[in-house]
Amino acid sequence: MLAYVFWHWPEPQGNPAQYESRLLDFQKSLAASPPAGFRESAVFRVQGAPWLPTPGAAYEEWYLLEGSAALDPLNDAAVARAHLAYWVEKPTGTSYGNFYSLLRPAIRLAGAVLWGRQMVLGPTREFCLHSPEAIELPPGFSAQRTELTRLWP
């Protein structure tokens, strides 16, 4: 499975309600006629993400795909028509195996999901931990918490 994630926001002089309405219309259309390899999507309104250059609300979209071959059909479909997120930094000198082992108890306790970024550039941290409730991370872990408001589905 592959998760394709991106952020966007309306222009400062734009109408936020209209922006959200069009975003949700697109999601409904995508769900009604999904492209090949598409499993599901989720849309969140984001507050407090310091890497986004906007003082207002931004939007985080997650697309769950069967694999990288599903990116082109998803892109074609896009052109044609309350949770928490912790952006976590793996401590320097910690192996990936140890990193996952240290996080496993917190993830299980909260019913959370850990996503890792691969082959991408950008200012965010390497891992995103989605959780329905606040999580206490192990000592030495650095995370930026953002508030998410689910808009779709």
pLDDT score for 79: 58
Domain of residue 114 covers 2-152
pLDDT of residue 80: 58
**Are 62 and 5 contacting, i.e. CB atoms less than 8 angstroms apart?**
yes
The model's pLDDT over 19-47, given as tens digits with 9 standing for 90+, comes to 898 889 889 888 888 889 999 999 999 98
Find all residues with CB under 8 Å of 42, minimum gap 6, and list them.
61, 62, 150, 152, 153
pLDDT reading at 128 higher than 50: yes
Between 120 and 106, whose confidence is greater? Answer: 106
Is it the case that residue 144 has pLDDT exceeding 50?
yes
The SS3 call for residue 14 is: coil
**Spatial distance between the Cα atoms of 47 and 134, rounded to a whole number of angstroms:** 16
Q: What is the mean pLDDT of residues 125-134?
A: 84
pLDDT for position 99: 95
Q: Closest by alpha carbon to 57, among 132, 151, 133? A: 151
- Tens-digit pLDDT profile for residues 55-108: 888 999 999 999 888 888 887 776 554 468 889 999 999 999 999 999 988 888
Closest CA to 118 of 108, 127, 107: 127
Indicate the number of domains in the chain.
1
